[in-house]
Structure 1
Amino acid sequence: MIPMEIGVHSLRVVHFNEANNEEGLRNLLDLVEEFRDKAVIRVAAYQQRVSHCYNKRVNPRPLREGDLVLRNTTITDTTDTRRKLAPNWEGPLQGEESAPTRNIQT
């Protein structure tokens, strides 16, 4: 089957120049890295905007030594014997401050 543009010569087919086409493709090939870099920058900017909108209403609550905290049971249960209806958290526990990382440990 012959495409319509080959059977009936359109302007696109009439003005096609293979040398110009090859040169244009080579020029585009040289610019591929630049296009990729611009795309990476656009994605990073988009992710930054999304995270800003998502975290807009976050109210940070710093924890201090002696505060009551919950501990994740999947981390503390190393035997992996938890069932479907087991609690996800255990506590409340009093936290102790770890000096180098400022994390609260139970």
Structure 2
Amino acid sequence: MTTPRAPTQETPFNLVYGSEAVLPMEIGQSSIRVESYPDDNDKSREMELDLVEEKRDRAMVRMEAYRGRVMKSYNKGVRIRDFQIGDLVMKKINLAGDVGKLDAQWERPFKITQKVSSGAFYLKDAQGHSLKRPWNIFHFEKYYA
């Protein structure tokens, strides 16, 4: 029959692995916990510390490979749309107020007159009136005349 252990020694780590957890930074310092370990344990801990950088590097390689696979699967459905000055586009209608779900979803045609940034454009309608503000590329579809 075994004698019961003191409550301070029964940590979850101790119950699983049969020894007390020691932080890597505690190995170099002298303490009762560190000095109570056998000598071969000190050597194995030092060897583990030598391999920590290698384990981190392998984990980083696996993480980058996983990140690449996730990015590839996420970007599968991305459509690259690039509009130039002079292109004709349809602009999405703001569905607010009395617009029903069976009404038209797009206004057309608009001509791109100026590119503001990578995804914003100024538009001009068919009558030649310029719209007051720039519109994002998200609100456009190519208009085929």
Structure 1-normalised TM-score?
0.49
Structure number with greater Rg is 2
Q: Per residue, is there more helix in 1 or in 2?
A: 1
